């Protein structure tokens, strides 16, 4: 019997299940009708999908409706094991950066053509942002994403841009391939990438690549309020700190 698929080749029932999961992830609890409306499916269809998720431990039903179950925590921890070596080598370096800067420090990698937070730490001066471990963001909008893109082949960059596009998030976001390539050339020359309010109107960031041989493992980054990350602190002091941190992580990875 043929699968019920959409134009992209995905199985529609599976896509519906994940749409329900992602909708639940955006809210604490949700009722059946609320979920069905949000995903655009019949209540009966939503009920069947939720029953399957509940039976397998991925969804919990209580007096307030449905919520995600801790089975996702188990799966998430297992998924994170792929980065155990990088995390082990980076952890003391990230802690040192937090102490030295007081800002928000991130360790990011590329997965499924997006920049993903593998670790994130907030210093005494750090401010809350819409990021957490596991959060995915468009690569062209972030210092970490751009520094990773700069160390990929042009063919690989083409794949990522064709897949994800260059959508504007703020007025400062790079949205053309020519502008992006020019920026990435500068990134390769200076060794770091800057995010000048390109992912958030009031946030700046700097990132340095973690590279061994021809392989880009990820990036270490710092982010903070645009009014505080200015002038020499933004353009010189933080880049030097991050280049040193990335080099230390690279050395630890070499002998890990």
Mean pLDDT of 179-184: 98
In the predicted structure, residue 4 carries a pLDDT above the cut 70: no
Please state the pTM of the whole predicted model.
0.85
Q: To the nearest whole number, what is the mean pLDDT of the chain?
A: 93
In the predicted structure, residue 87 carries a pLDDT above the cut 80: yes
Contact between residue 72 and residue 58 where contact means Cβ atoms under 8 Å apart:
yes
Mean pLDDT of 153-158: 96
Contact between residue 99 and residue 131 where contact means Cβ atoms under 8 Å apart:
no
Give the pLDDT of residue 181: 97
Give the pLDDT of residue 9: 45
CA distance 185 to 21: 39
Give the pLDDT of residue 2: 35
Mean pLDDT of 148-175: 97
* Lowest mean per-residue pLDDT among 4-13, 86-95, 141-150, 215-224: 4-13
Give the pLDDT of residue 10: 58
Q: Which residues of 157-173 are buried (b: 16+ CB within 10 A; e: fewer)?
A: beebbeeeebeebeeeb
Mean pLDDT of 6-25: 82
Mean pLDDT of 105-120: 97
Mean pLDDT of 235-246: 98
Give the pLDDT of residue 8: 45
**pLDDT by residue (tens digit) across 40-64?**
999 999 999 999 999 999 999 999 9
In the predicted structure, residue 6 carries a pLDDT above the cut 60: no
**pLDDT by residue (tens digit) across 59-86?**
999 999 999 999 999 998 888 888 999 9
């Amino acid at each position: 019997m043929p699968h019920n698929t959409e134009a992209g080749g995905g199985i529609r029932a599976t896509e519906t299940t994940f749409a329900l999961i992602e909708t639940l992830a955006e809210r604490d609890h949700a009722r059946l009708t609320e979920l069905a409306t949000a995903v655009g499916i019949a209540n009966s269809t939503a009920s069947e999908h939720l029953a399957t998720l509940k039976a397998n431990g991925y969804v919990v039903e209580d007096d307030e409706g449905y919520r995600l179950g801790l089975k996702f925590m188990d799966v998430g921890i297992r998924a994170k094991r792929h980065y155990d070596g990088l995390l082990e080598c980076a952890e003391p370096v990230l802690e040192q950066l937090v102490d030295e800067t007081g800002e928000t420090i991130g360790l990011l990698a590329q997965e499924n053509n997006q920049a993903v937070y593998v670790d994130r730490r907030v210093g005494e001066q750090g401010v809350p942002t819409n990021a957490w471990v596991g959060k995915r963001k468009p690569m062209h909008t972030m210092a970490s994403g751009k520094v990773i893109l700069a160390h990929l082949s042009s063919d690989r960059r083409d794949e990522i841009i064709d897949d994800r596009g260059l959508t504007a998030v703020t007025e400062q976001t790079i949205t053309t391939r020519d502008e992006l390539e020019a920026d990435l050339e500068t990134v390769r020359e200076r060794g770091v990438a800057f995010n000048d309010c390109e992912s958030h109107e009031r946030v700046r960031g700097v990132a340095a690549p973690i590279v061994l041989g021809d392989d880009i493992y990820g990036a270490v980054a710092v982010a903070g309020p645009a009014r505080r990350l200015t002038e020499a602190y933004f353009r010189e002091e933080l880049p030097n700190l991050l280049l040193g941190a990335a080099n230390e992580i690279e050395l630890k990875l070499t002998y890990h």
